[in-house]
């Protein structure tokens, strides 16, 4: 503790906090990179229809994840700051629109091609892969010795 009675923040704590602040942008970049890399296996397993479906699923996942992150930030701001310009109805509407986007695109692809729909499902899984990679990265950073 310092002389004001508050706990001191170590340099390592500050580095970890800076690492966590950049987690969402890093996961978005991981999703973009993984989507480019996974185009080849999608083509190999499902052909061009699967690639188109995968690209659509990856785009929807990216938009969905970005909207989720912004929605959570808006909701947190609304809870913490009673004078927040963010309206509760607007936040809820954005959450519902995310699911509507996924449903509309999934329905259109499902009606078009079963192979494209399988590729679309692959694309929807990109946030999970990004979160797993991020968890490994943060674990490594937390246990890395100075």
Positive or negative torsion for Cα 69, 70, 73, 75: negative
Contact 26, 95 (CB under 8 A): no
- Summarised one tens digit per residue, pLDDT across range 68-85 is 888 778 777 777 776 666
Got the DSSP string for 45-76? Answer: HHHHHHHHHHHHHHHHHHHHHHHHHHHHHHHH
* More confident site: 119 or 145: 119
Q: What are phi and psi of 4, to 5 degrees?
A: -90, -5
Quote the pTM value: 0.74
Closest CA to 74 of 95, 96, 98: 95
- Summarised one tens digit per residue, pLDDT across range 33-78 is 999 999 999 999 989 998 999 999 999 999 989 888 887 787 777 7
Two tokens at 11?
A: 């340099």
Average pLDDT of every residue of the chain: 82
pLDDT at 8: 64
Contact 23, 142 (CB under 8 A): no
Q: What are phi and psi of 7, to 5 degrees?
A: -65, 145
Contact 46, 116 (CB under 8 A): yes
């Amino acid at each position: 503790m310092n002389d004001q009675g508050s706990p001191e923040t170590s340099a390592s704590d500050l580095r970890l906090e800076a690492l966590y602040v950049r987690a969402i942008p890093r996961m978005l970049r991981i999703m973009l990179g993984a989507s480019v890399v996974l185009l080849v296996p999608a083509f190999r397993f499902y052909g061009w229809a699967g690639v188109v479906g995968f690209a659509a699923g990856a785009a929807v996942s990216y938009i969905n994840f970005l909207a989720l992150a912004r929605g959570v930030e808006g909701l947190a701001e609304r809870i913490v700051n009673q004078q927040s310009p963010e309206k509760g109805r607007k936040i809820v509407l954005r959450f519902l629109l995310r699911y509507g986007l996924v449903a509309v695109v999934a329905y259109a692809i499902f009606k078009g091609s079963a192979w494209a729909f399988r590729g679309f499902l692959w694309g929807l899984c990109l946030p999970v892969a990004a979160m797993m990679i991020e968890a490994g990265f943060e674990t490594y950073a937390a246990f890395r010795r100075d």
